[in-house]
Chain A
Amino acid sequence: MAATDLFDLAVLTLMIACVISIARTRDLVKAAVLFSVYSLVLCLLWVHRSAPDVAMTEAAVGAGITVALFLYTIAHVGRHEK
């Protein structure tokens, strides 16, 4: 297996692991942070696929702004899923 395939495989495995953890956790702060990790890992995939402009947007919006908005909302509605 080529090194580039190995990279894709590692990134995709990490992303799937993040998604499963997000679905399983009842702690919303944990879910928001895991979503940020998911976006950062996805950002690596964009760079690898030679799309640095998409990667930049993904890092700023997906890993940054969205999670900040989530966290502010969680501060209002409570940390644990009922």
Chain B
Amino acid sequence: MRPAIAALVVGLVALVLLAGLIALPEPGAPDSPAQRHVSAEYIDGGSQAGGAANLVTAVLLNYRGLDTFGEVLVIFSALVAVLVVLASAPQTGSAQPAQRLAPSPVVAFIVRLMAPFMAAFAAFVMISGAHLPGGGFQGGVVLGAMTILLAVAMGRDRVARMLRGGARFWVRAAAPLVFALVALIGWASTGWWFGLPGPGPFRDALVLALDIAIGVGGAAVLAGIFLALSRE
């Protein structure tokens, strides 16, 4: 009886989703509403107003600055939630220690060999986000994944020691803080929240600082979640 009900529910949901799918325009169709209204506007003025030669970055930083700020806050809140939950969990000293994950020497060597290249790629993605696909967040997840790989290969505690005390606190909060600062600067110089000053070296510096802060802060948040969860 229960499998039949489950199958019925799955079938109904699939039907609704497929009906919605059929109503969607062809991807990239030039006459779909998305292409005729918003896109044309973005393509016309996006790179001028958006502060970045790459249109996706321009839209994320300018037209949807508030959304991006919200995303940055979401991952920061995730870290805070993990830290609060794990810090308030009762200390169970008698609990069985988790099986040590000792990677094979081959894996550990490959990870240590690749780490500098991953870090360089992450930095490249962050810095060139203004004119190539990518940006602070993408660079940040690459950097965060590298840190987690290093924690697995070299031992969690060695990686956790890399950033301690006050520096750890500020780096983890860097993305929302710098983003809020840029929003304030935008407000002061253009009268709009998340507005960017006119084209020039000042705007380029702001966008670069924002990308690096989102990247490094995002990486610290992701690594922080992993380090908090993997604490014995």
Say whether B216 faces chain A, with CB atoms less than 8 Å apart. Answer: no
Q: Name the A residues within 8 Å of B230 (CB-CB).
A: 72
| Most central of A49, A69, A72 by chain B CB within 10 Å | A72
**Chain A contacts for B152, CB-based, 8 A:** 68
Residues of B within 8 A of A61 (CB): 141, 145
Which residues of the other chain, B, contact A53 by a CB distance below 8 angstroms? 56, 133-135, 138
- Give the residues from 61 to 82 in chain A that come closer than 8 angstroms, CB to CB, to chain B: 61, 64-65, 68-69, 71-73, 75-76
A57 and B138 form a contact (CB under 8 A): yes
The A/B interface has a contact count, at CB < 8 Å, of 53
B6 to chain A, nearest CB (A): 12
Closest to B27 in A: A49
- Interface secondary structure of B, over-half rule: helix
Q: How many residues of B contact A (CB 8 A)?
A: 23
Q: Which of A49, A75, A76 has the most CB of B within 10 A?
A: A76
A60 is an interface residue with CB less than 8 A from chain B: yes
Judge if B127 is at the interface, Cβ distance under 8 Å. Answer: no
Interface residues of A (CB under 8 A from B): 49, 52-53, 56-57, 60-61, 64-65, 68-69, 71-73, 75-76
Q: Which residues of B contact A (CB under 8 A)?
A: 27, 56, 98-99, 101, 125, 133-135, 137-138, 141-142, 144-145, 148-149, 152, 222, 225-226, 229-230
25 intermolecular pairs with C-beta atoms under 8 Å apart: A52-B133, A53-B56, A53-B134, A53-B135, A53-B138, A56-B134, A56-B138, A56-B142, A57-B137, A57-B141, A60-B144, A61-B141, A61-B145, A64-B145, A65-B144, A65-B145, A65-B222, A68-B145, A69-B225, A69-B226, A71-B101, A72-B101, A72-B226, A75-B98, A76-B98
